[in-house]
Amino acid sequence: MDSIVLTAVKTTFSRLLAGKSRPVTETTVDSERAARLRNRVVDDLVADGTIVSARVEAAMRTVPRHLFAPEASLEEAYHPYNAVFTKTDEHGATVSSVSAPQIQAMMLEQAGIAPGMRVLEIGSGGCNAALIAELVGGSGEVTTVDIDPEVTARATRLLAATGYARVRVVRADAENGVPAHAPYDRILVTVGAWDVPAAWTAQLAEDGRLVVPLRMRGLTRSVAFERTGDHLTSTSALVCGFVPMQGAGAHQEQLLLVNGTNAIALRFDDGLPADPGLLDNAVRTPRAEAWTGVTVGRQEPFDTLQTHLATVLPGFCVMAVDPDLDTGPVTPANKWFSLATVDGDGFAYVTTRRTPDDASVEFGVHALGPGGPALAEAVAGQVRAWDRERRGGPGPRVSVHPAHTPDDRLPGGRVVDKKHSRVVLSWPPQD
């Protein structure tokens, strides 16, 4: 029966997109089975605390997500924590997707959308715009914008086919927002952003809210900002991942391949070290190790450790190791994403090992370079400082200020300078 249902779904959508099908409400798609899967996803997200409001819950139960992801099976479309990739570039990298239900619900909860609001979505796909349309109701307005004509054409077709033709679809580079329909009570960015253009703040209502997956020192957080005059201040920041922004807002990380091996790449979000050549002999020195005694359970989050190290280590970066080329000078627990730092002629990264009872893992630091032992111990000391002072507490407050803002008008904290803005991460005082 399942294969027949999936064939019917694909056949229906082929005809629909070709303009030869009856309206979706009259199709023979197995809507009852899709509804069961959709309700199960929502039940899971309510149970894990992602969905906390009745309005977001109702919207998630209403919008037929699978109709916005015809490439996927019903099971794939309704997996709570997986996105559906809808377009790749010539290199196979994903450039457009339908975000995972968990991410959609999380950002909608951060946004706090109410009936009658005017909302701008940056990054189109259709499904999230339909969810926003449910939340604003008939008296509200939804505008969704994307730079890719294929994406906007697809969103237009699918929104019309599912009964959300009132959503306004605009093709433009979102670096300048969509001024024609501003101001907006809410702006939701559903692509990974490295910066916050001035237009987004300017087009936000004075008491409005911006929710954006913002990349700061290589770490991405979905940050909910409220506007205060010319700057933004965060109310929440949650771990997430998104396909990167295209167009004028695109920003590429810079890679430093460690000399002596093609396997180790250090990824810098805000520029390479002043003299990368100092690392040329780092891998020719013995590896130093420092174990911290700090442990975490297998399911325990430690995202504040990431942001702590990003704010206290001047040379913070992310290390990635090609498993096909790795010759063994480094042995990270995660070959694709390890917290790291460069200090002069050496570099260090954070790793883990299982505890004897196998119930948790212990953080440790490996370092290479002439000063490896001292560097390993210095980074290990910062892991211990996180354990003492910040573990289990709130993450840093994030504020975004215009790029011309002088230092004496910024709050204290780690300043990350970008093209359009100065982003400040400020930790709350410790008890």
Token representation of residue 92: 């196979």
Task: Tell me the helix, strand and coil percentages in the chain, rounded to 5.
Answer: 30, 30, 35
What lies within 8 Å, CB to CB, of 330 at 6+ separation is: 264, 287, 319, 321, 349, 366, 368
User: Whats the size of the chain, residue-wise?
Assistant: 431
Q: DSSP for 197-265?
A: -HHHHHTEEEEEEEEEEEEETTEEEEEEEEEETTEEEEEEEEE---PBP-GGG----EEEEPTT-SSEE
> How many Å apart are CA 359 and CA 380, to the nearest integer?
21
Three-class DSSP category at 366: strand
Tally Cβ neighbours within 10 Å of residue 44. 15
Token representation of residue 364: 């440790």
Task: Give the bridge partners for 231, in sequence order.
Answer: 228
First to last CA, the chain: 60
> How many Å apart are CA 61 and CA 70, to the nearest integer?
18
> How many Å apart are CA 156 and CA 161, to the nearest integer?
9
Quick one: which H or E segment has residue 146?
Answer: strand 141-146
From 20, 28, 27, 51, select the one nearest 38 (Cα to Cα).
51
From 277, 270, 253, 254, select the one nearest 315 (Cα to Cα).
270
Provide the CB-side half-sphere exposure for 235 (13 A, CA). Answer: 14
Q: Helix H segments across 48-148?
A: 54-62, 74-77, 101-111, 127-136
Phi then psi for 421, rounded to 5 degrees? -150, 165
The DSSP output letter for 153 is: H
**Catalytic positions, please?**
96
> How many Å apart are CA 31 and CA 160, to the nearest integer?
18
